[in-house]
Amino acid sequence: MSETQPPTPSPGGPPPAAPAPPAPAAGAGRVLARNAAWNAASYVLHALVLLLLSPEVVQALGNDLFGVWVIINTLTGYLNVADFGIRPAIVHFVARHHARDEADEVERYVHGAFVTLALGGAAILVATLVLAPNLGSWFDVDPSQHHAASWALVISGVLLAVMLPLNAFTAVLIGRQRFDLTCRIDLVSLAASTTGIILVLVFGGGIVALALVIGLVELGEMLWKTRLAFREQPGLTFWPKRATRATARGLLGYGAFNIVVTTSLLLSDKTDALVIGGAMSAWWVTLFDRAAKMPVHARTLVFQVGRVLMPELGARHAVGDKVGLVRLLTTSSRQVLLAATPLIVYLFVLGGAFLETWMKGDSSFRILGDQSLVVLAFAALFPISSYPLVMAHQGTGHMRSLALATLFEGATNLGLSLWWVRDHGLVGVAYGTLVPAAIVHGFVLPWWNGSRLGFNLFGWWARVWSLPLIAGGVAYGALRLVFDVDATYGWPALIGGGVLSVAVVAAIAFGAPPGIGLRRRPTEATP
């Protein structure tokens, strides 16, 4: 692909003007909006299904066995570090070389990733065989559940090992920004897994059957996405021998920092169940997991919408569009925070009532989990606001600072949780999440990105946080006027509270001037 040569100055004349940064590709804003809409719709449906199924699963398994199931899912989440941080690296390199129309480079990186991830799959198999026999003794699992817990972990680990190398091909769809295709497959997978879970519950199956059904559906999903990747990337073949040491070094060089990021995020997001299971019991894991679920959904919804930014930010960085990159970061950070504000405010006011009604009137979830839910809801605001900045680090390949920041967050989260769980129980673990999240996502990441991209930290806070805080404050006041935080409400009232929160925030967001709220300037791309 030829490159345009810079203009040559004439003898004695003034130097030529610096070329303007290339404009974003036509329709880039529409592509981002389409991708964000697909991701949001897909995740909302997933969350609704979990909302409906979770009480049935908890009731069918019981608090103790459901807590074991949460611990198993946490451990398999940790096994994902065997990808060596390569999955985001593939997306980064595919997006970069696709933007430059370098199909041969795309194929080399895909095959290099496949071979490396296959080695990671082998490591997962070994780790699974080590963990499974010791699961019961390490996490205070009832002796009668040791056998089922071990087999459920083996099934989950083996299927994860098989699926891991396929990420090399499915990343092609993400790098080419075909989130519409991946989300359609996700919805089919959701329908299949939901049907399978219902059948397991109807026929009295336990966590072994759940692990098998969910794992097989996920494997089918990965195979389908792999097939579409070959269709979307012309000339892509399955020929692992095309992997080269150079591409492997490039992937691992990017992934070396990303694996620190991944591990650190696991320490932040996946240690709570292990800390509580080790210090307390699996029964308490279920209580905390249910309280944490709604703040987690708020974060994950934003992450699903925001991850469409990574290939776009990488593409803009590849062509030198720094101005467009900063504008997109500012707009998207404010908008994802606005999008999450109604749910966070709702949890502040009605979180306890929601927990009790959701868990079929079991007041123990409200009594023991309400305070943790409020703390975790507040903690979720900070990573939500900074998620586009995380995508900027990953999309542009600036991983060192992100790795250091997230390592501090993860280590501090784990340390504080272990320290405070003994004296403060579930609330101590929740505060162990809040403190490092506020430091890293509220201060460190905006400051680092500002120093790199040329924006002021206080100006960033004003542009990103002002409107969501105003909208959230008004929504909080409206909910407190209508609802008593200590009362119990049925589903009609709880749904009405959610509608009220969304309506108030939306009215303020859409009523704000263009470029400040959800209305955008004619030239401004949106995520």
Give the DSSP per-residue string, 270-293.
SHHHHHHHHHS-HHHHHHHHHHHH
Sign of the four-CA dihedral 165, 394, 271, 216: negative
When pLDDT is averaged across residues 271-278 and rounded to a whole number, the result is: 83
pLDDT per residue over 40-64, tens digit each?
777 778 888 888 888 888 888 887 8
Contact between 295 and 380 (Cβ < 8 Å): yes
Give the separation between CA 226 and CA 443, rounded to whole angstroms: 39
Asked if residue 457 belongs to a domain, the reply is yes
Helices then strands, counting H and E runs in the chain, come out as 18, 0
Length of the chain: 527
520 belongs to a structural domain: no
H or E segment at 364?
helix 363-396
Q: What is the pLDDT of residue 497?
A: 96
What domain range includes position 399?
A: 28-511
- Rounded distance between C-alpha atoms, residue 287 and residue 289, angstroms: 6
Q: What is the pLDDT of residue 472?
A: 95
Rg for the chain (alpha carbons), in Å?
24
Least confident window among 31-45, 173-187, 216-230, 481-495: 31-45
The answer to whether the CB of 430 falls within 8 A of the CB of 372 is yes
Q: Over the range 12-22, which residues count as b (16 or more CB within 10 Å of their CB) and which as e?
A: eeeeeeeeeee
Number of domains in the chain: 1
> Rounded to whole angstroms, how far apart are CA atoms 314 and 325?
9
Is the residue at 79 inside a domain?
yes
Gap between the Cα atoms of 171 and 390, Å rounded: 18
- CB contact set of 413 (below 8 Å; sequence gap of 6+): 267, 268, 271, 432, 433, 436, 437
DSSP state, residue 516: T
Q: Which amino acid is at 349?
A: V
- In whole angstroms, give the CA distance from residue 88 to residue 175: 9
Q: At 259, is the secondary structure helix, strand, or coil?
A: helix
Query: Is 135:141 a contact under the CB 8 Å cutoff?
Result: yes
pLDDT, one tens digit per residue, over 428-444 is 999 999 999 999 999 99
Local confidence band at 240 (pLDDT 50, 70, 90 cut-offs)? low
CB atoms within 10 A of CB 130: 9
pLDDT above 70 (res 5): no
Residue 27 banded pLDDT, cuts 50, 70, 90: low
Indicate whether 249 belongs to any domain: yes
Between 130 and 323, the more confident residue is: 130
| 28 band by pLDDT with thresholds 50, 70 and 90 | low
| pLDDT value of position 453 | 82
- Residue 19, pLDDT above cutoff 50: no
CA-closest candidate to residue 71, choices 286, 338, 347, 254 = 286
The C-alpha atoms of residue 405 and residue 268 are separated, in whole angstroms, by: 12
Contact between residue 190 and residue 46 where contact means Cβ atoms under 8 Å apart = yes
4, pLDDT greater than 50: no
Whether residue 466 contacts residue 330, with contact meaning beta carbons closer than 8 Å, is answered with no
Residues 6+ away with beta carbon under 8 Å from 388: 306, 309, 328, 329, 332, 333, 336, 527
Q: How far apart are CA 377 and CA 357, in angstroms?
A: 18
C-alpha angle 373/378/384, rounded to 5°?
A: 115
Distances (CA, A) of 527 to 37, 337, 389, 439: 9, 12, 13, 26
The answer to whether position 201 is within a domain reads yes
For residue 133, pLDDT beyond 70: yes
Cβ(359)–Cβ(320) below 8 Å? no
Round to whole Å and give the CA distance between 114 and 503: 46
pLDDT at 301 exceeding the cut of 90: no
Spatial distance between the Cα atoms of 248 and 246, rounded to a whole number of angstroms: 5
Q: Do residues 327 and 21 lie in contact, with contact meaning Cβ atoms separated by under 8 Å?
A: no
| Residue 19 domain flag | no
Average pLDDT over residues 394-403: 76
Spatial neighbors of 498 by CB under 8 A, at least 6 apart, are: 342, 343, 346
Query: Looking up tokens 């979180």, which residue turns up?
Result: 351
CA distance 408 to 451: 19
Are the C-beta atoms of 116 and 248 separated by less than 8 Å?
Answer: yes
**Is 314 within 8 Å of 95 (Cβ atoms)?**
yes
Segment holding 421, helix H or strand E: helix 400-439
How many other CB atoms are found less than 10 A from the CB of residue 238? 11
- Name the residue with higher pLDDT: 181 or 484: 484
Contact predicate 164/124, CB 8 Å: yes
Residue 339 within any structural domain of the chain: yes
Tell whether 168 is covered by a domain. yes
